Amino acid sequence: MTSAITFMNNAISISTNTTTYTDISSLGNSVKVSAGARGIAEEYFFSSDTAVVQPGKRAPADVEFLIAYTEVATDPFEQYARPAYENHTPIYLRWTPQARNTGAGTISVFTTDAFYVTDIPYPQGDAKADKIITFSLKGRTAYITKSTTTA
């Protein structure tokens, strides 16, 4: 038996204030993270045959949630994504890979720092109506923190 997990039990939430998060898992489809790469400085000196290498700072992290578009009053597009994009205001994202796995014990919670929406395609599609309309909430954050909770 393996301890590997799937994203099947993932929960995603969104907030405007880091205190009150709204669970949007019923509309969420995927989470993509391009974590900030750490820069590495290197320099060569006459007195050595090898480079001097030192760690630098981490780059910001890019995060993307794929979310179903609806036209209900609580739609994440209208409540969070569009206003954050148009008004240049931060939102906060959180995802918990094992949140819906009751009895999983201690589970991980990943939370963005202030998240700024960089790209928000407005609802779109084509006449072949066999797909649910989604939008991709893309943005950047200085860092992502990991905490734990109990399922």
pLDDT tens, residue by residue, 120-148: 878 887 777 788 888 899 999 999 999 99
- Would you say domain 11-150 falls under CATH 2.30.110? yes
- Show Cβ contacts of residue 61 under 8 Å, excluding neighbours closer than 6 positions: 33, 34, 35, 36, 112, 140, 141, 142, 143, 144
Q: pLDDT digit string (tens) for 9-39?
A: 889 999 999 999 999 999 988 999 997 889 9
Apex CA 77: angle with CA 119 and CA 61, to 5°?
A: 40
Query: C-alpha angle 20/13/86, rounded to 5°?
Result: 85
Neighbours of 132 (CB within 10 A): 11
Give the C-alpha separation, 5 to 53, whole Å. Answer: 36
DSSP state of 131: S
Question: Which pTM value belongs to this model?
Answer: 0.85
Domain ranges of the chain: 11-150
Q: Give the DSSP letter of residue 56.
A: E
DSSP 88: T
pLDDT tens digits along 71-124: 888 889 999 999 999 999 999 999 998 887 777 788 889 999 999 999 887 888
